[in-house]
Amino acid sequence: MVAYTVLRRMGGVTRAAMAPTMSSPDEMMKKMNMDGIMNRMSMMGGTMSAMGGPANLPADMTRSQFVVLRGYRQGMKSSSQIADTLSMSKVDVDKETSTLVANGYLTNDMRLSSKAMDVLGN
């Protein structure tokens, strides 16, 4: 029984010693072809950041307003639906929505304006 336990543990050590080593971050990026992905993203939009938003927002829009605006663009009909999806409070979404309406990105019936479409891209 003791010999079995010793041999079993040695087998685990041997397997661990023979296992391939972890790739460096550079090698992992090459395997995933991140350079190619980033090049395609820049060719498609040019102004999109890694987080999916524009690199430079208009002066009258914050990042949270942009995210709320995208919620309306994706077809969400109410601030409570957007709040649930984004894990934000409904009060904050209502505040951002009213600012978007005041700045001309949303109409009074929560439809996107041409100004919003310019920011969103399509």
Phi and psi, residue 59, nearest 5°:
-60, -25
Tens digits of residue pLDDT in 4-56: 676 566 666 556 556 566 566 666 555 565 555 554 554 444 444 445 566 68
pLDDT, position 103:
95
Beta bridge partners of residue 112, listed in sequence order? 106
100: pLDDT strictly greater than 80: yes
C-alpha–C-alpha distance, residues 68 and 121, integer Å: 15
Query: Tell me, what amino acid is at 66?
Result: F
Tens digits of residue pLDDT in 48-97: 444 556 668 899 999 999 999 999 999 998 999 999 999 999 999 999 99
User: Which residues fall within 8 angstroms of residue 55, CB to CB, at 6 or more apart?
Assistant: 47, 48, 49
The ranges assigned to domains in the chain are 2-44, 63-120
CATH of domain 63-120: 1.10.10.10
SS3 62: coil
C-alpha–C-alpha distance, residues 120 and 122, integer Å: 6
Task: State percent of the chain over pLDDT 70.
Answer: 55
